[in-house]
Structure formats: C-alpha cells, structure tokens
A = this chain, B = another copy of it.
Amino acid sequence: MAQRLTRIERRERTREDLVEAAREVFLRRGFHAASLDEIAEEAGYTKGAVYSNFRSKDELFVAVLDAHFAERVSAYSEFVLDQEQLEDSYRAVARFMYTTDEAEPRWTPLVLEFWPHAARSRELRLAIADQRRWFIEAITAIVAELAARHGVTYRIPVEDVVRGAGALARGVALERLLDPTSTSSEAFEEMLVAYMTGLAREEGS
C-alpha cells in the first residue's frame, strides 16, 4: 500500500533507492564492471531513472561516497572520545577499522579503483578532493580533541597524523584483499598503536 507521495518525496525516495542499490552493485562488481542496468534493476527502476537523478555514472558514485563518509564521521565521533586511556582510543579505532573492513572487504578497493579514474578528469578530481578534505577535517577535529584531552601533541600536523593512519588502514586492507590471512587484527592494532604513539612528542620537550 505505497501511500501517495508528493513529487519531491518520490524523487528523494528514488534517489535514495538508487544510491543504496548503487552501493551494493558497485561493491559486488567494482566501479568499472558495474552496469547502470544492474543498479537500476536492483533498485527497482530503469536506467532512465538514474539519468533523471544523476548526470552520469561518475556522479552516482560520488553520491555513494558522500553517504559513506557521512556515516563514518558520525561513527567515529561516537566512540573515539569515550575511552579512558589514550591508547584505548587508538585500539578502539584500530578494531573499528579492521572490523568494518572485514564486514565489507571490497569497500577499500572500490574507492581506490575510482581514484585513478577520477584523477583523469579535472572536474571529478576536484569534487573528490573536496569531499576527501571535508572528511579528513572532520576526523582531524576528533583526533585533535582527543589529543588535547590527554595533553598530547604530535611531531607532525594532526591532519598528517590522520592521513597516515588512514593510509595505513587502507594499505593493510588491500594486502588482505589479495591474501586475507596476511595481517591479523592484533597485528594491525599493534601497527596503529606503534604509529600513533611513535608520533607523539616526548612529554615536556
């Protein structure tokens, strides 16, 4: 009994359906191999609906990324600052990263598959770079707050600390894509703690 919706409501609904379906199909097939036909069908529409809501396959993908990063930021902001010890926060982050990667191991390669593609178009590259900057800034704010609470400063800008941590996580996720037995959750936890702790400035120096 689909209730009657206004045009705007229906349009928003369709858009959400498409983004959700796109996310699943992109994960399943990868960016290049995913077809708009399959995405539209998964969402219960036809390809034309995609072009009624997005200008291109690229733009649809960017919408998937938008939704993802928004979710991630709110997840981090919920648990990172709740820990007693600084190292507990690091470990909680490591476990969160590792767990989400295990739950959706294809997410990281999917994003990375898109970057070289995006890098070749000026407009797309700028859109992705903006999106990324927004995400990095949001995470940086959380880490800066965490560090301030524990009276810690880092030897490089907090933003670089964050970028490096993300880099480490992404890199490990990729290793595990090719060889899922490679880096254990415990090993990754040690890596991240070593990285974060090693970057902290010695007290009072």
Within 8 A of B (CB), among A172-198: 172, 174-175, 177-179, 182-184, 186-188, 190-191, 193-195, 197-198
CB distance from A180 to the nearest CB of B (A): 10
Q: Interface digits, A115-156 against B, CB 8 Å rule (1 contact, 0 not)?
A: 111111000010011001100000000000000000000011
Number of copies of this chain that the complex holds: 2
On chain A, the number of residues with a Cβ less than 8 Å from chain B's Cβ atoms is: 53
Q: Are A115 and B125 interface neighbours, CB within 8 A?
A: no
Which B residues are CB-close (under 8 A) to A191?
156, 160, 164, 195, 199
Q: Are B178 and A160 interface neighbours, CB within 8 A?
A: no
Which B residues are CB-close (under 8 A) to A115?
109, 112-113, 174, 177-178
